């Protein structure tokens, strides 16, 4: 299987996403290439990873780098969303500074979305910006969170409320690593892939309906799906790096999704991000139908596909109790995508016909949520 490259072209910066099997054990040259303009002689790498990834993949990565005379500083944080915190950020920064890494050295985010967001945010602020490479190890991170330069941590007031736009020197996505991913995590990443179809690529959604199951096995179809996803995201990010316009489409399913993550206190036993997005996309389609924007039967087709790969699609799929609709509304109001109390949602007019809806009436959202909650009581 061939190694593929997707290039992200931004105004002031251009970088590659390298996608292929078994990259970890042959990555040193790629890293040296990506940093070459910035290094003097001996570059040092801080590898930020977590307690899930380190036991599985840190040794082979360090062995490959050491073999190529690259000095590494491993920094291992607790796996899970709770590491996107001020205190973990400070710990990571302190470890990088205490190892005396300099501007021309590099931080590698070696893990899922949490690690990418945390390590990228740390890299953005150490000495006002160090070199940074993403090595995403989850499907979600490979097709979504590692692409596009969003980094950050959570606040007690909401998810990702504190962060920076910070682009990496390159993204290296080893597709073989995904074989060690728990199936639930793989499915969660798959939800974001479906999202790309639903935004404005009905062909890709139909391709996923046919080939989706194949992606769960390590092979050419998996690589093709990741490449197509990255191409799609790269194009949107290139046109709108700082989310002043169409990049907001990537939030399809995310306003409801973040609401559900807050409602379940980011408890991964109850809900993980991609699952929240899966349910959130269904809610966005149902809400669009209720506003007479799209055919009400559309939701069934999407739900059928999400269920076929084992994703949750309804509020009743979330274990435990949910807060009432008024409380859920306060979670939506604190979302980043809110401006001066006008609610913005990504809604749809049909399969792959999503659009940014500003000024969505809060009353309509509230009564929709009340209805959905009443269905599970």
Q: Which are the catalytic amino acids? A: 128, 150, 192, 233, 243, 247, 251, 254, 258, 273
Q: What is the DSSP letter of 85?
A: S
Could you tell me the CA-to-CA distances from 224 to 23, 180, 195 in Å, in that order?
16, 19, 16
Q: Check binding of 13 to a copy of itself (CB under 8 A).
A: no
Q: Check binding of 37 to a copy of itself (CB under 8 A).
A: no
As annotated, the binding site for Zn(2+) includes 192, 254, 273
Residues 84-123 that bind a copy of itself (CB under 8 A): 86, 90, 93-94, 97-98, 100, 102-104, 121
From the list 3, 10, 28, 162, which residue makes contact with a copy of itself (rule: CB under 8 A)? 162
77 contacts 48 by C-beta, under 8 angstroms: yes
Dihedral sign (CA 58, 62, 64, 65): positive
Radius of gyration, alpha carbons of the chain:
20
CA distance 351 to 203: 10
110 contacts 173 by C-beta, under 8 angstroms: no
Cβ 105 to a copy of itself, closest distance in Å?
Answer: 9
- Residue 253: partners with Cβ closer than 8 Å, 6 or more residues away: 191, 195, 277, 278, 279, 280, 281, 282, 283, 284, 346
Q: Check binding of 336 to a copy of itself (CB under 8 A).
A: yes
Q: Are strands 343-348 and 170-174 parallel, antiparallel or unpaired?
A: unpaired
As annotated, the binding site includes 113-117, 137-138, 150, 159, 192, 254, 273
As annotated, the binding site for NAD(+) includes 113-117, 137-138, 150, 159
Q: Check binding of 10 to a copy of itself (CB under 8 A).
A: no
From the list 60, 165, 224, 240, which residue makes contact with a copy of itself (rule: CB under 8 A)? 165
From the list 37, 157, 269, 297, which residue makes contact with a copy of itself (rule: CB under 8 A)? 157
- Give the residue carrying structure tokens 């940074």: 132
CA distance 16 to 9: 9
Q: Check binding of 357 to a copy of itself (CB under 8 A).
A: no
Q: Check binding of 168 to a copy of itself (CB under 8 A).
A: no
From the list 2, 292, 297, 340, which residue makes contact with a copy of itself (rule: CB under 8 A)? 340
Interface residues with a copy of itself (CB under 8 A)?
Answer: 11-12, 40-42, 86, 90, 93-94, 97-98, 100, 102-104, 121, 124-129, 150, 152, 155-158, 161-165, 242, 333-334, 336, 338-340, 342
């Amino acid at each position: 299987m061939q190694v593929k490259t997707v290039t992200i072209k931004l105004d002031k910066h251009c970088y590659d996403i390298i996608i292929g099997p078994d990259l970890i054990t042959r990555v040193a040259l790629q890293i040296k290439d990506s940093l070459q303009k910035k290094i003097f002689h001996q570059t040092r790498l801080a590898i930020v990873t977590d307690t899930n990834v380190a036991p599985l993949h840190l040794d082979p990565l360090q062995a490959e780098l050491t073999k190529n005379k690259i000095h590494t500083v491993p920094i291992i944080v607790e796996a899970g969303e709770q590491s996107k915190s001020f205190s973990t950020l400070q710990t990571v920064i302190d470890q990088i500074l205490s190892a005396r890494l300099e501007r021309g050295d590099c931080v590698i985010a070696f893990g899922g979305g949490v690690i990418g967001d945390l390590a990228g945010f740390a890299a953005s602020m150490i000495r006002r910006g160090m070199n940074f490479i993403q090595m995403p190890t989850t499907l979600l991170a490979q097709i979504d969170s590692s692409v596009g330069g969003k980094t950050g941590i959570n606040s007690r007031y909401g998810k990702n409320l504190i962060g920076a736009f910070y682009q990496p020197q390159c993204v290296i996505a080893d597709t073989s690593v995904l074989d060690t991913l728990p199936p639930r995590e793989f499915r969660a990443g798959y939800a974001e892939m479906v999202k790309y179809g639903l935004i404005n690529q009905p062909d890709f959604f139909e391709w996923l309906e046919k080939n989706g199951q194949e992606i769960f096995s390590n092979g050419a179809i998996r690589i093709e799906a990741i490449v197509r996803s990255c191409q799609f995201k790269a194009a949107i990010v290139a046109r709108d790096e700082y989310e002043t316009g169409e990049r907001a489409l990537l939030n399809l399913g995310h306003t409801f999704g973040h609401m559900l993550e807050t409602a379940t206190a980011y408890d991964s036993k109850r809900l993980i991000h991609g699952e929240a997005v899966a349910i959130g996309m269904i809610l966005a389609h149902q809400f669009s139908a209720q506003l007479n924007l799209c055919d009400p039967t559309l939701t069934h087709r999407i739900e059928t596909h999400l269920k076929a790969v084992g994703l949750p699609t309804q509020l009743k799929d979330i274990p435990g109790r949910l807060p009432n609709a008024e409380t859920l509304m306060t979670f939506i109001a604190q979302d980043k995508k809110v401006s001066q109390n006008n609610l913005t949602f990504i809604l749809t007019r049909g399969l792959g016909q999503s659009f940014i809806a500003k000024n969505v009436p809060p009353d309509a959202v509230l009564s929709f949520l009340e209805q959905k909650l009443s269905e599970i009581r």
